[in-house]
Structure 1
């Protein structure tokens, strides 16, 4: 991370990226538990890039420098769907897992049609942080004695059209109206002795934000209760 704009306000996604670096460092033995907890607390209380920068400066990631918080402000992942339907070339249009697995997650551009094939294996297609080439994305999953899991963010309409033989497609997320301007995701394909799951999840950064809000509300209620009890003395 460079220090040319340390006064810029950090976002929840900035803090979560730093937290990921710290978790990797703990798993690799670069930080002990006390150091990890101290830095993690500092991460989630940081307000600016300048406060985040020192937390990963001494942590390598393999043979490369540790990921740093980008000084270029990216669009926040969330309800600003106009900024996420870009028309750009997709990052990837297919994935294969043969007695193995695959993942498509994080910041990537979803094509109009994405095809996955799983044979004695499985894959994860995570759209929560993704941009979209168009307002409609077809996720075509072929699972033969294997599976795939499609994860969508809140606000996205989901339609499931897949066919299962001794297998199946998850229809639980159908029927939820999409947000205005949000893309529509159509999950289709074929599952034989396999399955395709569809889940709707918040990002970790959004979960952390909600957790912090609940913590703050609890503190405010506690303070209010103390004031009431103090006034009764």
Structure 2
């Protein structure tokens, strides 16, 4: 027995879901925040989006808006301890991702004087034989559950209280032989910091 195949339905005639309406509402609101739509246009399009039944109703509402721009890939900073060690301190530009190799001499990353407005910083550590030490200001917090301690171990001495507007440092990697330490400034480092701020 042979039956006739159903006629394919045009996509524009298909019904849209609540989630699809909400996605368009969000895109329109963002476009207005970017200055692409004035308030009158926004109100009119929002009304049409919320009452849309089919794709044909929704499509024209964002047709003249640019597609979402994908975020740029994160810039990476690689710090290698080598034989004599490496230190990043004072004021330095903090990227979204940092990779630190302790090498033989060790690596110290000191964030206490940086001006950083990133919501998160990815820090990949490899303690090697020299170890990696990370010093962060009071109010910053670090997530270290992704670090394999290795033979050198992991010491997380950071207080859990995070101040608003400060970045979260997500630490991953391994301690190697030298280990990884994440902490706030020592008393000596605090005195040194105060002296530098008074100059």
TM tier, smaller? 0.5 to 0.7
Aligned partner of 2:154 in structure 1 is 169
Normalising by structure 2, we get a TM-score of: 0.53
Aligned partner of 1:115 in structure 2 is 99
Tell me how far apart the structure 2 counterparts of residues 132 and 167 of structure 1 sit (CA, whole Å): 30
2:192 is the alignment partner of 1:204: yes
- Which residue among 148, 159, 163 is the counterpart of 2:132? 148
Q: Secondary structure at the match of 2:174?
A: strand
Q: Secondary structure at the match of 2:107?
A: strand
Instruction: State the Cα RMSD in Å.
Output: 2.5
Tell me how far apart the structure 2 counterparts of residues 203 and 127 of structure 1 sit (CA, whole Å): 16
- Aligned structure 1 segments of 4 or more residues deviating by more than 6 angstroms: none
Task: Report the alpha carbon displacement of residue 124 of structure 1 after superposing the two structures with TM.
Answer: 0.8
Cα distance change of structure 1 residues 94 and 133 upon mapping to structure 2, 3 Å threshold: farther
Normalising by structure 1, we get a TM-score of: 0.46
Instruction: Give 5+ residue unaligned stretches, structure 2.
Output: 1-73
8 Å Cα contact 1:110-1:132 kept in structure 2: yes
* Bigger Rg, structure 1 or 2: 2
Q: How does 1:86-105 map to 2 (within 5 A)?
A: 93-105=77-89
- Residues matched between the structures, number: 120
List per-residue Cα deviations over 1:12-70 (Å, max 9, x = no partner).
Answer: xxxxxxxxxxxxxxxxxxxxxxxxxxxxxxxxxxxxxxxxxxxxxxxxxxxxxxxxxxx
Aligned partner of 2:176 in structure 1 is 192
Task: Report the alpha carbon displacement of residue 172 of structure 1 after superposing the two structures with TM.
Answer: 2.3
Instruction: Give 5+ residue unaligned stretches, structure 1.
Output: 1-88, 210-233
Cα distance change of structure 1 residues 190 and 205 upon mapping to structure 2, 3 Å threshold: closer
Q: Secondary structure at the match of 1:110?
A: coil
Task: Report the alpha carbon displacement of residue 195 of structure 1 after superposing the two structures with TM.
Answer: 0.7
